[in-house]
């Protein structure tokens, strides 16, 4: 598991904040955010709108992800609990995209 060090920025960038705010504006309020550690690459903030849409923002680490959630109005920290999972609506196109080359087999 990657640890954040003194060299890891903890403040989200303006671009990351704009991306999360844009998601909330497009997909409704309140949106949920699940911060996931992805190792040396940092953290992924998975955004789930009340309309079922999913998005994400990559940040430097878990602390940065938590700071992003705190700084975006109408974005609530969440976990992958049953309520969050039930909100997500995954369509056929997304399923094919996630399956990658194996989807055509």
Return the beta strands (E) in 49-89 as ranges: 54-59, 75-77
Tens-place pLDDT, residues 53-86: 999 999 999 999 999 999 999 999 999 999 999 9
pLDDT-derived band at 93 (thresholds 50, 70, 90) equals: confident
Q: Report the pLDDT value the prediction gives residue 7, as an integer from 0 to 100.
A: 61
Q: What is the pTM (predicted TM-score) of this model?
A: 0.82
What tokens were used for 4? 């954040």
Q: Report the pLDDT value the prediction gives residue 1, as an integer from 0 to 100.
A: 43
Span 40-51, mean pLDDT?
A: 96
Question: To the nearest 5 percent, what fractions of the chain are helix, strand and coil?
Answer: 45, 20, 35
């Amino acid at each position: 598991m990657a640890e954040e060090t003194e060299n890891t920025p903890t403040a989200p960038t303006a671009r990351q904040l704009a991306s999360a705010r844009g998601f909330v504006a497009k997909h409704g309020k309140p949106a949920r955010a699940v911060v996931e550690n992805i190792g040396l690459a940092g953290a992924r903030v998975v955004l789930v709108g009340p309309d079922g849409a999913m998005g994400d923002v990559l940040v430097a680490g878990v602390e940065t992800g938590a700071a992003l959630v705190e700084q975006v109005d109408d974005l609530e920290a969440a976990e992958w609990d049953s309520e969050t999972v039930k909100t997500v609506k995954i369509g056929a196109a997304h399923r094919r995209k996630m399956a990658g080359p194996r989807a055509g087999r």
